[in-house]
Amino acid sequence: MSWREPAPGEREAEERSWAIVHAAHAQREPLPRPRRNRAPLVVLATALAIAAAVLSPPGRAVLSSIRDAVRGERNARPALFSLPTGGRLLVESSRGVWVVQRDGSKRLLSGYRDAAWSPRGLYLAAVRGHELRALEPNGEVHWSLARRGRLALPRWSSEGFRIAYLAGRSLRVVDGDGTRDRLLARRAAATPPAWLPATHEVAYVEPSGTVRVVDADSTRTVWTGRTDRPFLLQWSDDGARLLALSERSLDVFRRDGRPSSSGPISDASTAAFLPGTHRIALVERFYDRSTVRLFAADDLGMRLHRIFAGAGVFGDLAWSPDGKWLLLSWDSADQWLFIRSAAVRKVVAVSNVVGSFGANPALDGWCCPP
Amino acid sequence: MAGSGGDERAWVRGAQTGSVSDLEALFRHHWPRAYRAAYLVVHDAAAAEDIAQESFLAAVRNLDRFDRRRRFGPWLHRIVVNRAIDWSRARSLRREAGDTALADAAAPAAAGNPHSRSLAGALAELSEEHRAVIVLRHLLEYTPGEIADLLDVPRGTVNSRLRRGLDQLQGRLGAELR
């Protein structure tokens, strides 16, 4: 045995980490030095450094590593031929909302935005112009509701009898059949509301950053919790935990509003409970690298598992309805990754997402539980 | 170890004033030991990468406040080993079935590496505290007194952990451990 032998992954990790440490160093303010007219020297040194980086084997390795990483997974499929498991996807882009079937066929609902599945996937709630509409996945509209202000972020309650949505700065609720539209809160932040499963209690974010849970029928406040202006709220399937994700922190509350855990994070973009568990997949970005990790909701100080890491920016996450697959959008590589369980250890990559769906594709959901 | 104390001070000084080449020299010099130390404590390549990488980033963030009269290595190793111990403790507290529920596509284990068959395997049988002192003593070559400072534990504790840990390792690896 020798202590001097490299550990598994040491060399590859060194190149990845050097790129990140270098980037972090470049962004800091260096200590001041005596003023001299060094501009010509700096230009020359920079040119030489770049040339050295490109020409030297380590430099080529670093550059190659970064380029390969942002290129995404090798052997990616050129298009989404099918979903790896059951359900249907909802994808939003500059062209509208797409409904993607398991066999890969897809239908564009042109001009729609901010779409959300009803609990069993029979309907969508989506916004078109100044109207909130309930429609079938084939585009047939069942009802619509026009309101002042920018309508956004409709969300169905878990049994489908209520829809909460934003109208300008206010939070409103309408019954699932399009009747009894009413104001729930005059001021709400632009964060999607989240319904506590099997209830008519909905969590939303106030402009101050406070999370408030209210009974939508009685308008009674159930509890409030202090957070750092979260842009995402999500309940666990059993309703026992609520996550509130901000760019720099992740807070988890219990059903009664007591804090469960809280942790600082690095430039988070999204998070999602693993279906049927209290485990959270979190996407973080650190300089030019992004990571998806699994955390225990009640102990955010501990990372259970790193699911995937790569160069550039990751976008959305969506768990398959059966909880066996995780769909991760790798925006910098223009790929989607379907990541499967350890027994199979499989990653199915699909490239050309922008070409398939249009600019700025975003995952709005993978529906629906069996 | 390659690189004298004078080299290291020059690299730190250069990195503080913005020199990429000095930063790279510092990084390349310390990376292998930082990564190996983390790996031998946590036995997880992805976690070792995170721990070593974040330790370097912490160093970069605090570079301007670093006292150049001190040695950089012990400062970095203190961060690495303490983070690795924290990670291992947390994992052992919550070893859930879900730990392996998803593929770790970023850093698959290299099955052919000798670390995975002998040293690392034997170390894995020890507690994280015992692993840490053995790694600090035999990989990073600190004295027991220095290890006591790095881990904020009494020197007697370091000695007893070393003795017990080595006894267990020698039972598994025999004369290989020198």
Q: Tell me: the pLDDT tens digits for B12-71?
A: 888 888 899 999 999 999 999 999 999 888 888 888 998 898 888 888 877 877 777 778
pLDDT for residue B60: 83
Contact check, Cβ <8 Å, B90/A302: yes
What does the CA dihedral B83, A65, B113, A7 come to, rounded to 10 degrees? -30
Helix (H) or strand (E) holding A318, with range, is strand A317-319
Residues 6+ apart with CB under 8 A from A57: none
Chain B closest-CA separation from residue A309 CA (Å)? 5
The pTM of this model reads 0.60
CA A286 – CA A107 distance, rounded (Å): 36
* pLDDT at residue A128, as a whole number: 96
Structure-derived torsion over alpha carbons of residues A289, A292, A296, A299, reported in degrees to the nearest 10: 10
Residues of chain A found within 8 Å of residue B15, distances taken between Cβ atoms: 25
Instruction: Quote the pLDDT of residue B45.
Output: 87
CA distance B77 to B72: 9
Q: What is the rounded distance in angstroms from the CA atom of residue B60 to the CA atom of residue B51?
A: 14
Q: What is the pLDDT of residue B69?
A: 73
Residue A70: per-residue pLDDT: 56
pLDDT at position B10 is 86
Per CB-CB distance under 8 Å, the chain A contacts of B24 are 18, 22
Residue A301 confidence (pLDDT): 63
For residue A21, the chain B residues in CB contact (below 8 A) are 23, 27, 53, 56-57, 60
Q: Confidence band (pLDDT; 50, 70, 90) for B7?
A: confident
Interface of A with B in 38-97 (CB under 8 A): 49
Residue B94 to residue A167: CA distance in whole angstroms? 43
Of the candidates A8, A307, A342, which has its C-beta nearest B115's C-beta? A8
Decide if pLDDT at B98 tops 70.
no
B176 pLDDT above the threshold of 80: no
Burial group, residue B65, by CB count within 10 angstroms (0-12, 13-18, 19+): exposed
Residue A256 contacts by C-beta under 8 Å, 6 or more apart in sequence?
A223
Query: Chain B partners of A294 at a C-beta cutoff of 8 Å?
Result: 98, 101-102
Kindly list the distances between the CA atom of residue A99 and the CA atoms of A84, A95, A322, A363, in Å, as whole numbers in the listed order: 16, 12, 19, 11
Is A205 in contact with A166 (CB distance < 8 Å)? no
Q: Is B18 left (phi over 0), alpha (psi -120 to 50) or beta?
A: left
Q: Verify whether the Cβ–Cβ distance B23 to A304 is below 8 Å.
A: no
For each successive 10 residues of chain A (370 residues), what is the average pLDDT? 75 87 74 42 41 40 40 79 90 94 93 94 94 95 94 94 96 95 96 96 96 96 92 96 90 94 81 92 81 84 72 89 90 91 70 91 84
- Assess contact for B105 and A339: CB atoms under 8 A: yes
Alpha helices in B62-152 (DSSP H): 72-93, 114-117, 119-123, 128-134, 144-151
* pLDDT at residue A338 in the model: 93
DSSP assignment string, A293-312 = EEEETTEEEEEEEEEEEEES
Chain B interface, best mutation among A306, A307, A320, A324, by max B CB count within 10 A: A306
A296 touches B: beta carbon within 8 Å: yes
| The pLDDT of residue A71 | 64
Calculate the alpha carbon distances from B64 to A234, B3, B78, B150 in Å.
40, 22, 18, 21
Q: Which of B27, B52, B104 sits opposite A305 (nearest CB)?
A: B104
* Euclidean distance between CA atoms B10 and B151, whole angstroms: 27
Query: Does ipTM top 0.85?
Result: no
Interface of A with B in 301-340 (CB under 8 A): 301-310, 326, 337, 339-340
pLDDT computed for residue A290 by the predictor: 86
Q: What is the reported pLDDT for A256?
A: 95
Residue A168 Cα distances to A116, A133, A187, A190, A210, angstroms = 18, 17, 9, 9, 19
Q: What is the pLDDT of residue A126?
A: 97
* Best residue in A10, A285, A336, A344 for a mutation probing chain B (most B CBs within 10 Å): A10
- In whole angstroms, give the CA distance from residue A323 to residue A189: 30
Mean pLDDT computed over every residue of chain B: 77
Contacts of A342 in chain B (CB under 8 A): 100-103
The partner residue sitting opposite B15, judged by closest CB among A1, A25, A305, is A25
**pLDDT value for B128:** 84
Which positions in chain A touch B120 (Cβ < 8 Å)?
A: 7
A-chain residues within 8 Å CB-CB of B40? 7
Cα angle vertex B103, ends B97, B108, to 5°? 115
pLDDT confidence of residue B88? 78
Q: Round to whole Å and give the CA distance between A213 and A256.
A: 10
Per DSSP, the three-state class of A195 is: strand
Which of A1, A286, A306 comes nearest B104 by C-beta? A306
Cis bond upstream, residue A367 (ω within 30): no
